[in-house]
Structure 1
Amino acid sequence: MKARLLAVACLMLSMPVWANEVKIDIKEFMFGPKDLAVAVAVAVAVGTKVTWVNDDEIPHTVAEIHKIFRSGALDTGDSYSWVFNTPGEFEYFCALHPQMIGKIVVSQ
């Protein structure tokens, strides 16, 4: 458990909160950057544009669990972007492969 928390903390520190744009790769049935836990967590500031890019050979989607945002099917090379204008935690998954999960943490 401690190792998982440490991995998430290190990952969150690796993404600067002042970034205006963040890219998340979709590859090998995972959202990346990835950590040792199952989910990827990325910390960003309000107003940050996050872009998911499908680098996999099969389609994937990006769907927030409360339906705040949802992409269509992304083929290889396709991307989907969302600007996070409110603070909070936004958990998402691939609707085609629900084991693929991630989280965006938006701070002021």
Structure 2
Amino acid sequence: MLAAASVAAQDTANVITIDNFTFTPPELTVAVGTTVKWVNHDDIPHLVVNKDKAFRSKALDTDDSYSFTFTSAGTFDYFCGLHPHMVGKVIVK
């Protein structure tokens, strides 16, 4: 049972939620090889778009998710393709 709990904790550790037109956390630091998951909890669609075009989600409806595996180190700034004032950052070390 403890193993299942640690897997569940790992699953939520690299999750960015979209709620009330905000990415939470706004900045996430992960290791190379980490998969980050964005989950939309708003009642309208959002897109996750990297400003350098490394990744781009489809439109995420309520409770839809998008995952991306970061295979190289760097700083990845992203925004919502529909609401560009929504911004976030993933730092990969």
Interval containing the TM-score (normalised by the shorter chain): 0.7 to 0.9
- What letter corresponds to residue 101 of structure 1 in structure 2? V
Figure out how many residues of one structure are paired with residues of the other and give that number. Answer: 83
Residue-by-residue CA offset, 1:17-74 (whole Å, 9 max, x unaligned): xx686100000000002xxxxxx11100001100000000100000000111000100
Partner of 1:31: 23
Which residue matches 1:97? 83
In 1: Cα distance, 2:84 partner to 2:60 partner = 15
Structure 2: gaps of 5 or more residues = 1-9
- The percent of aligned pairs where both chains have the same amino acid is 53
Corresponding residue number in structure 2 for 1:12? none
Which residue matches 1:57?
43
Partner of 1:79: 65
SS of aligned partner of 2:14: strand
Structure 1 alignment gaps of length 5 or more = 1-18, 34-39
- Please report the TM-score for the alignment, with normalisation by the length of structure 1: 0.74
CA apart distance, 1:77: 0.7
Q: Tell me how far 1:76 sits from its aligned partner.
A: 0.1
User: Which runs of at least 4 in structure 1 moved beyond 4 Å after TM superposition?
Assistant: none
Q: 2:14 aligns with which of 2, 22, 25?
A: 22
**Alignment partners' CA distance in 2, 1:102 and 1:79:** 16
After superposition, the CA RMSD in angstroms is 1.3
Please give the alpha-carbon distance, in whole angstroms, between the structure 1 residues aligned to 2:41 and 2:65: 9
Query: In structure 1, what is the Cα distance between the partners aligned to 2:63 and 2:18?
Result: 10
Q: Tell me the TM-score normalised to structure 2 length.
A: 0.85
